[in-house]
Chain A
Amino acid sequence: MSDEIKVDKHMDLKGLPCPMPVVKVSKGIKEVELGQVIEAVTTDPGSLTDFPAWARTSGNEILKSEQDGETIRFYIKRTA
Chain B
Amino acid sequence: MDQKTRDDLLTLFQSKLNEAMRFYLETCTRCGTCTEACHAYASMGQVKYIAAYRHEIIRRIYKKYFKGRGKVWPSVGEAKELNEMALEELYEAAWSCTGCRRCMVYCPFGVDTQMLMSIAKLLLVGASAEPEILTLLADTSIEKGKSLELYKEGFLAGLKRLEEEVVKGWQMEAGETVIPVDVEGADLLYVALAGAHSIVPAAVVFNAARENWTLSFFEAVNFGAFVGDPTRTKLILDRIINEATRLKVKEVCICECGTAYRVMQQLAGRRPFKVSSITDVQARYIREGRIKLSRSTFKGSITYHDPCQMARNAGVIDAPRFILRHLTDDFREMTDDIRYNWCCGGGGGLVALGEDTLDFRMKSSRIKTEQVQETGAQILATACENCHTQLENLNDHYKMGVKVRFLSSMVADALVA
B159 at the interface (CB under 8 A from A): yes
A35 at the interface (CB under 8 A from B): no
Contact A58 B219 (CB under 8 A): no
Contact A46 B193 (CB under 8 A): yes
Contact A57 B140 (CB under 8 A): yes
Identify B154's interface contact among A18, A26, A52, CB under 8 A: A52
Contact A48 B140 (CB under 8 A): no
B128-161, CB < 8 A from A: 133, 136-137, 139-141, 143-144, 147, 150-151, 154-155, 157-159, 161
Identify A57's interface contact among B143, B151, B193, B194, CB under 8 A: B143
Which of A47, A50, A52 counts the most B-chain CB atoms under 10 A from its CB?
A50
Closest chain-B Cβ to A61's Cβ sits at a distance in Å of 14
Identify A19's interface contact among B161, B162, B352, CB under 8 A: B352
- Tell me the total A-B contact number using a CB cutoff of 8 A: 79
Contact B157 A46 (CB under 8 A): no
- B221 to chain A: which residues have CB within 8 Å? 18-19
Identify A23's interface contact among B159, B196, B354, CB under 8 A: B354
Task: Determine the interface band of chain A, counting residues with CB < 8 A from chain B.
Answer: 20 to 34
Identify B354's interface contact among A18, A20, A53, CB under 8 A: A20
Identify B195's interface contact among A22, A44, A53, A57, CB under 8 A: A44
A58 to B140, CA, bound (A): 8
A45 to B155, CA, bound (A): 8
Known contacts A19-B137, A54-B140: A45-B219 contact under CB 8 Å: no
Task: Determine the interface band of chain B, counting residues with CB < 8 A from chain A.
Answer: 20 to 34
B71 at the interface (CB under 8 A from A): no
Contact B352 A46 (CB under 8 A): no
Identify B161's interface contact among A23, A24, A54, A70, CB under 8 A: A70
Contact B151 A22 (CB under 8 A): no
Q: B189-211, CB under 8 A of A: which get 1 and which 0?
A: 00001111100000000000000
- A70 to chain B: which residues have CB within 8 Å? 161
B349-369, CB < 8 A from A: 352-354
A20 to B353, CA, bound (A): 9
Residues of B within 8 A of A (CB): 133, 136-137, 139-141, 143-144, 147, 150-151, 154-155, 157-159, 161-162, 193-197, 219, 221, 223, 352-354, 385, 389
Residues of A within 8 A of B (CB): 17-20, 22-24, 26-27, 44-50, 52-54, 56-58, 67, 69-70
**New contact pairs (8) apart from A45-B158, A52-B151, A53-B140, CB-CB < 8 Å:** A17-B194, A18-B193, A18-B221, A46-B219, A49-B151, A52-B154, A56-B150, A67-B157
